[in-house]
Chain A
Amino acid sequence: MTVTWCRIAAVCAALLIVLSGCETDGLEGVQDLDGRSINPIGNAGTPITVTLFVDSDCPVSNRYAPEIQRLYSRYAPRGVGFWLVYPDPDVSAESIRTHMSEYGYDFPALRDLHHSLVRRANALVTPEAGIFLADGTLVYHGRIDNRYVDLTQRRAKATQRDVENVLDALLAGKSVDSSWNPAPGRSLKTMSEPGVGCYIRDFK
Chain B
Amino acid sequence: MTRSVPMSPLARRGSLVVLVILLFAAVYYLSGGWRGSAPAGEDVVTFNRDIAPIVNRNCVVCHRPGESAPFSFLDYAEAKKRAGLIAALTASRFMPPWLPERGEVEFLNERGLSDEEIALIRHWVEQGAVEGDPADRPDPPRFTEGWQLGEPDLVIAMQAPFTVPAEGVDVFRNFVLPIPVSTPRWVKAVELRPGNPRVVHHGVMQVDESRASRRRDEEDAEPGFAGMDMAGSEPPGGQLVGWTPGKVPVVDERLAWRVEPGSDLVVQLHMLPTGKAEQVAPRVGLYFTDAPPREQAFSLLMRNDDIDIAAGEGNHVVEDTLTLPVGVRAVGIYPHAHYLGKRIEAHATLPDGTTKTLIKIPKWDFNWQDDYRYREPLTLPAGTTIHMRFVYDNTTSNPLNPHQPPRRVRFGNRSSDEMATLAIQVIPSREADKPLLREALMRSRLEKNPDNWFAHSALSTALATQGRLDEALSHIQTAIGLLPGHPQLHYNLANTLLAMHRTDEAIEGYTRALAIEPDHPKAHNNLAVALQRSGQLERAIHHYRQQLTVSPMNAQAHANLGTALFDQGNMAGADEAFAHALELDPHLGTALEGRGDVARRLGRLDEAKAHYSAALEALPGAPGAHYGLGAVRLAEGDEQAAIGHFREAVKGNDAYIGVLNDDAWRLATHPDPNVRAPREALALATLADRLMQHRVPELLDTLAAAQAANGAFEQAVETLEQALALAAEGPASQYIAEFRERLALYRHGQAFVADPSP
* B92 / chain A contacts, CB cutoff of 8 Å: 151-152
A187 CB to nearest B CB, Å: 11
Q: Using CB atoms, name the residue of chain A closest to B19.
A: A13
B28 touches A9 (CB 8 A): yes
B25 touches A153 (CB 8 A): no
CB < 8 Å A-B pair total: 135
Give CA–CA (A27, B34) in the complex, Å. Answer: 30
* A39 / chain B contacts, CB cutoff of 8 Å: 1-3
28 A-B residue pairs with CB within 8 Å: A9-B24, A9-B25, A10-B21, A14-B25, A19-B11, A20-B11, A20-B14, A24-B11, A26-B2, A42-B3, A57-B70, A59-B70, A62-B275, A62-B276, A65-B166, A65-B276, A66-B167, A67-B167, A90-B77, A136-B3, A151-B92, A152-B89, A153-B365, A154-B400, A155-B400, A156-B170, A156-B400, A202-B82
Of the candidates B17, B77, B89, B169, the one whose C-beta lies within 8 Å of that of A157 is B169
B33 touches A3 (CB 8 A): yes
B5 touches A23 (CB 8 A): yes
Q: Using CB atoms, name the residue of chain A closest to B20.
A: A9
Q: Tell yes or no: A189 within 8 A of B by CB.
A: no
B81 touches A90 (CB 8 A): yes
Most chain A CB within a 10 A radius of its CB, from B15, B34, B70: B70
B624 CB to nearest A CB, Å: 59
Q: Tell yes or no: A74 within 8 A of B by CB.
A: no
Q: Tell yes or no: B274 within 8 A of A by CB.
A: yes
Q: Is the interface of B mostly helix, strand, loop or mixed?
A: loop
Q: Tell yes or no: A38 within 8 A of B by CB.
A: yes
28-75 of chain A: CB within 8 A of chain B: 28, 37-39, 42, 57-59, 61-67
* A62 / chain B contacts, CB cutoff of 8 Å: 274-276
Chain A residues within 8 Å of chain B by Cβ, number: 52
A37 touches B2 (CB 8 A): yes
Instruction: Using A16-B18, A102-B276 as known contacts, say yes or no to A63 and B24 having CB atoms under 8 A apart.
Output: no
* B2 / chain A contacts, CB cutoff of 8 Å: 26-28, 37, 39
* B166 / chain A contacts, CB cutoff of 8 Å: 65-66, 103-104
Q: Tell yes or no: A201 within 8 A of B by CB.
A: yes
* B148 / chain A contacts, CB cutoff of 8 Å: none
* B77 / chain A contacts, CB cutoff of 8 Å: 90
A6 touches B8 (CB 8 A): no
* B432 / chain A contacts, CB cutoff of 8 Å: none
* A61 / chain B contacts, CB cutoff of 8 Å: 275
Q: Using CB atoms, name the residue of chain B closest to A88.
A: B81
* A24 / chain B contacts, CB cutoff of 8 Å: 4-5, 7, 11
Instruction: Using A136-B5, A149-B399, A152-B365 as known contacts, say yes or no to A6 and B83 having CB atoms under 8 A apart.
Output: no
> Could you list which residues of chain B lie within 8 angstroms of chain A, going by C-beta atoms?
1-5, 7-8, 11, 14-15, 17-18, 21-22, 24-25, 27-29, 31, 33-34, 70-71, 77, 80-85, 88-89, 92, 94, 166-167, 169-170, 198, 272-276, 339, 365, 399-400, 402, 404
Given contacts A10-B25, A90-B77, 18 further A-B contacts (CB under 8 A): A6-B31, A9-B21, A10-B24, A13-B18, A16-B18, A19-B11, A20-B7, A23-B11, A26-B2, A28-B2, A64-B275, A65-B275, A67-B167, A136-B5, A151-B94, A152-B92, A154-B400, A156-B169
B8 CB to nearest A CB, Å: 6
Interface string of A135-153 (1 = CB under 8 A from B): 0100000000000010111
A199 touches B5 (CB 8 A): no
Q: Tell yes or no: A183 within 8 A of B by CB.
A: no
Of the candidates A12, A58, A155, the one whose C-beta lies within 8 Å of that of B399 is A155
Most chain B CB within a 10 A radius of its CB, from A7, A39, A61, A202: A202
Of the candidates A64, A102, A203, the one whose C-beta lies within 8 Å of that of B81 is A203
* A13 / chain B contacts, CB cutoff of 8 Å: 18, 21-22, 24-25
* B274 / chain A contacts, CB cutoff of 8 Å: 59, 62-63
Q: Using CB atoms, name the residue of chain B closest to A104.
A: B276
